[in-house]
Amino acid sequence: MNLTLKIWRQKNDKETGKLVTYPVKDISPDMSFLEMFDVLNEELITKGDEPIAFDHDCREGICGMCSMFINGRPHGPKRGVTTCQLHMRSFKNGDTIVVEPWRAAAFPVIKDLTVDRSAFDRIISKGGFISVNTGNAQDANNIPIPKPDADASFEAAACIGCGACVATCKNSSAMLFVSAKVSQLALLPQGRVEATTRVKNMVAQMDEEGFGNCTNTGACEIECPKGISLENIARMNREYFVANIKS
């Protein structure tokens, strides 16, 4: 099929960017969205132009690195997939596709479609862990964990840190991402020990990074490729409330 791509080109975080139009031809429906970008880039290189910079690595929906805002939606039109898992069979011949980077004050553009998401790492380093040093562990089965709790914790832990939740949110809030980590650990007995400080420190860092407030629009849950649920935000709010009463 033949398509018209409108792609955001931006040299670096200092210069302003703009949408540039590129026609692409003979795209197979079995191609992934990123493979279509490979084809386009190959063409640009042979022509002597600079290829489009975009983040990607695993190309199987697990590393969280790919991040394209496609026709107004992070990771494109399909629910429950990352950009790299999107296939061209989700589009039809003649379509115009607009591709932009994640947009949020806390995610500055590096180049073209690549943004800086290190704010997420800094939030994790403020509390997204259990403080146990190597070698301090007891036998794993000494802490029985009810299956429903273990499963719920796992579901929250499935977050890949892609930032689609932030990109789609009109407030650029990072609540879904932060609450997923808070929930994962809060649901486990091992994680309860530091629950109070964890939630307070992570929320403080989230605010410092310049992410917006959550006004419960629910857009994040819809766009999250890993199905992280809003329940996590509710749980984090409870944890936060309790943490503040305690202190």
Q: How far is the CB of 204 from other proteins (least distance, A)?
A: 12
Q: How far is the CB of 5 from other proteins (least distance, A)?
A: 16
If the CB atoms of residues 17 and 177 are measured against ligand SF4, the closer one turns out to be: 177
Tokens of 123: 């939030």
Query: In this structure, which amino acid lies at residue 130?
Result: I
Q: How far is the CB of 11 from ligand SF4 (least distance, A)?
A: 27
Going by C-beta distance under 8 Å and a sequence separation of 6 or more, which residues neighbour residue 42?
Answer: none
Q: Helix 175-186 to helix 195-208 angle, to the nearest 10 degrees?
A: 170
List the strands of the sheet with 96-100, edge to edge. Answer: 18-24, 3-9, 96-100, 69-70, 73-74
Q: Which stretch binds ligand SF4 (CB under 6 A): 21-29, 129-137, 153-161, 236-244?
A: 153-161
If the CB atoms of residues 71 and 153 are measured against other proteins, the closer one turns out to be: 153
DSSP-derived secondary structure for 7-51: EEE-SSSSS--EEEEEEE----TTSBHHHHHHHHHHHHHHHTPPP
If the CB atoms of residues 63 and 243 are measured against ligand FES, the closer one turns out to be: 63
**Considering only residues 155-174, where is the footprint of ligand SF4 by CB under 6 A?**
159-165
Q: Give CA angle at 127 (189, 135), nearest 5°.
A: 60
Tokens of 175: 């609540």
| Whole-number Å distance between alpha carbons of 107 and 210 | 9
Instruction: Answer yes or no whether residue 62 interacts with ligand FES by CB under 6 A.
Output: yes
**Considering only residues 83-112, where is the footprint of ligand FES by CB under 6 A?**
83-84
| Whole-number Å distance between alpha carbons of 108 and 102 | 9
| # residues near ligand FES by CB under 6 A | 13
Helix, strand or coil for residue 239? helix
Instruction: Answer yes or no whether residue 61 interacts with other proteins by CB under 8 A.
Output: yes
Interface mask (CB under 8 A) for other proteins, residues 169-208, using x and -?
Answer: ---------------xx--x-xx-----------------
Q: Which stretch binds other proteins (CB under 8 A): 14-22, 125-133, 167-175, 231-239?
A: 125-133
**Considering only residues 130-159, where is the footprint of other proteins by CB under 8 A?**
130-141, 143-147, 150-151, 153-154, 157-158
Among 214, 245, 247, 244, CA closest to 232: 214
Residues lying near ligand SF4 in the complex (CB under 6 A): 159-165, 176-177, 180, 224-226, 228
Residues lying near ligand FES in the complex (CB under 6 A): 56-59, 61-66, 82-84
